[in-house]
């Protein structure tokens, strides 16, 4: 399989670093399965708020796509499926670190209007916190 | 990238390469990733080993003394072997690549390559236990015509060889062609061929000084654009993912962006009346 996923947590937000390609087949299936697992785990555990910080929805995910070389049609479908799953759990998904190639694909398919896209993981995480503060 | 750990014995890889330093490096990378590795220093020795032992995959250099990689492939093909072979070469000559397709090489990896590319390619080949046979109808560098079975594994395989033929083109053009080809061949195999390995898709690639043209003809009944509610091409301006609701209702996998993506990657995209044949063109000037 040409996709590896590494899961980390940054200030209450789950960050999935993706490396390789997200295409129809094993890669798309693997991404969807990983997010499903994470959302199930999140649902069964309550968030652990940081002192003085507004709580973040437990299904807050960032996909770090900075090491993704290409996404095909099936891969785009998987990204939308992941977004739908996160929102169904009361959370959200943000994309970070897109290279020019991936940005072009999202723009071409008008998915840049569907996803919240940030230039870095840090900014994506900040955006979750800023939103939580506004809602507090 | 590590290969998926196997529950049984590690997969056996034979490296056939005349350059000792390259052989050692490949051995180290593959053994480090958990493969059982053997080496041969030329085609003749490689063939001898293949006669006596079984290997899951062979990494085969092209230009070697005594017997070159293409001759090894021919001999394996002549014997009716289903041996999975990855061809490694810096030689992008169309004749080399087309002969490799004709002799049923599994995949092609262009030297130099990274350890990740190597392991990714080996794992990709290992993931496909039965290699789909590709029939070569024309192997002229400016007129390639293939008959391929409707199996998803065939897409990467054909793409790796055909894109190798365009190695002289700028990267952006090669990528656009590769991605367009990937989407449309997958559509043909999935929708036209229903992933039935007994059905075939015709692929033709014609190259002139000023353009590259691909034609993909699938065995299906065709479709009508206005009935493609499950494809992003028919989404309203304000609804980028409307089609995904239709796909979900129909129990289809997420996707449906292929034609929309392709339209922006190529200069011309034409379907025949039944719409089971598509042509796309990229102009080179």
Cβ(A51)–Cβ(A2) below 8 Å: no
| B175 CB within 8 Å of a chain A CB | yes
B124, B152, B254: residue with CB nearest A80:
B254
A20, A74, A111: residue with CB nearest B255:
A74
Decide if pLDDT at A106 tops 80. Answer: yes
Angstrom distance (rounded) from CA B77 to CA B104:
7
B124, B183, B241: residue with CB nearest A73:
B183
pLDDT band at residue A53 under the 50/70/90 scheme: low
Residue A26: its chain B contacts at CB < 8 A?
127
Rounded to an integer, the average pLDDT of B204-213 is 96
The residue written with tokens 């350890």 in the block is B115
- From B216, B229, B161, select the one nearest B189 (Cα to Cα): B216
Rounded to an integer, the average pLDDT of B121-131 is 84
Residue B179: its chain A contacts at CB < 8 A?
70, 72
Contacts of residues B229-235 at CB distance under 8 Å and 24 or more positions apart, as own/partner, are: B230/B256, B231/B256, B231/B257, B231/B258, B231/B259, B231/B260, B232/A109, B232/B256, B232/B257, B232/B259, B232/B260, B233/B259, B233/B260, B233/B263, B235/A110
Q: What is the ipTM of this complex?
A: 0.79
Question: What domains, with CATH codes, occur in chain B?
Answer: 1-129 (3.40.50.2300), 132-285 (3.30.565.10)
> Measured between CA atoms, how close is B256 to chain A, in angstroms?
6
Q: Does the domain at residues A3-135 carry the CATH identifier 1.10.357.10?
A: no
Angstrom distance (rounded) from CA B270 to CA A94:
36
| Res A134: pLDDT | 60
Contact A73 B4 (CB under 8 A): no
| Res B211: pLDDT | 96
Contact B182 A72 (CB under 8 A): yes
Rounded to an integer, the average pLDDT of B254-278 is 92
Contact B261 A108 (CB under 8 A): yes
| Res B253: pLDDT | 82
How much of chain A exceeds pLDDT 90, in percent?
60
- pTM over 0.90, yes/no: no
pLDDT in tens, B162-201: 888 888 899 889 999 999 999 999 999 999 999 999 999 9
Packing angle of the helix pair A73-88, B171-187 (nearest 10 deg): 70
B14: which 2 tokens? 């034979």
pLDDT band at residue A133 under the 50/70/90 scheme: low
| Res B95: pLDDT | 85
pLDDT in tens, B91-111: 778 888 888 988 889 988 988
Residue B4: its chain A contacts at CB < 8 A?
1
Judged by average pLDDT, the poorest of A40-44, A63-67, B112-116 is A40-44
Contact A72 B120 (CB under 8 A): no
Q: Where are the domains of chain A?
A: 3-135
């Amino acid at each position: 399989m040409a996709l590896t996923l590494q899961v980390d947590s940054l200030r209450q937000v789950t960050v999935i670093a993706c490396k390789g390609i997200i295409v129809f087949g094993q890669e798309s299936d693997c991404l969807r399965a990983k997010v499903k697992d994470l959302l199930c785990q999140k649902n069964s555990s309550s968030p652990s708020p940081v002192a003085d910080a507004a709580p973040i929805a437990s299904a807050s995910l960032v996909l770090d796509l900075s090491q993704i070389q290409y996404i095909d049609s099936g891969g785009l479908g998987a990204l939308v499926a992941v977004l739908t799953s996160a929102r169904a759990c009361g959370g959200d998904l943000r994309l970070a670190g897109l290279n020019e190639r991936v940005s072009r694909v999202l723009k071409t398919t008008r998915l840049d209007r569907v996803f919240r896209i940030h230039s870095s993981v840090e900014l994506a995480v900040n955006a979750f916190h800023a939103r939580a503060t506004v809602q507090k | 990238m590590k290969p998926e750990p196997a529950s049984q014995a590690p997969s056996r890889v034979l490296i056939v390469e005349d350059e000792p330093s390259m052989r050692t490096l490949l051995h180290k990378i593959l053994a480090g990733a958990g493969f059982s590795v053997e080496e041969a220093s030329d085609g003749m020795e490689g063939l001898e080993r293949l006669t006596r032992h079984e290997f899951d995959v062979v990494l085969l250099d092209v230009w070697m003394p005594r017997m070159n990689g293409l001759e090894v492939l021919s001999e394996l093909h002549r014997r009716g072997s289903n041996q999975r072979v990855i061809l490694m070469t810096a030689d992008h000559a169309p004749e080399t690549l087309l002969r490799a397709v004709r002799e049923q090489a599994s995949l092609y990896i262009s030297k130099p390559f990274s350890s990740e590319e190597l392991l990714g390619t080996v794992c990709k080949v290992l993931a496909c236990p039965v290699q789909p046979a590709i029939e070569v109808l024309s192997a002229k560098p400016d007129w390639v015509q293939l008959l391929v079975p409707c199996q998803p594994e065939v897409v990467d395989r054909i793409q790796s060889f055909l894109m190798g033929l365009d190695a002289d083109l700028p990267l952006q053009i090669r990528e656009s062609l590769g991605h367009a080809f990937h989407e449309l061949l997958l559509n043909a195999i999935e929708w036209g061929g229903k992933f039935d390995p007994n059905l075939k898709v015709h692929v033709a690639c014609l190259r002139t000084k000023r353009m590259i043209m691909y034609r993909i003809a699938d065995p299906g009944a065709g479709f009508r654009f206005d009935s493609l509610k499950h494809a992003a091409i028919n989404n309203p301006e304000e609804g980028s993912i409307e089609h995904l609701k239709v796909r979900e209702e129909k129990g289809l996998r997420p996707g449906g962006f292929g034609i929309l993506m392709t339209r922006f990657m190529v200069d011309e995209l034409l379907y025949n009346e039944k719409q089971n044949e598509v042509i796309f063109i990229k102009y080179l000037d």
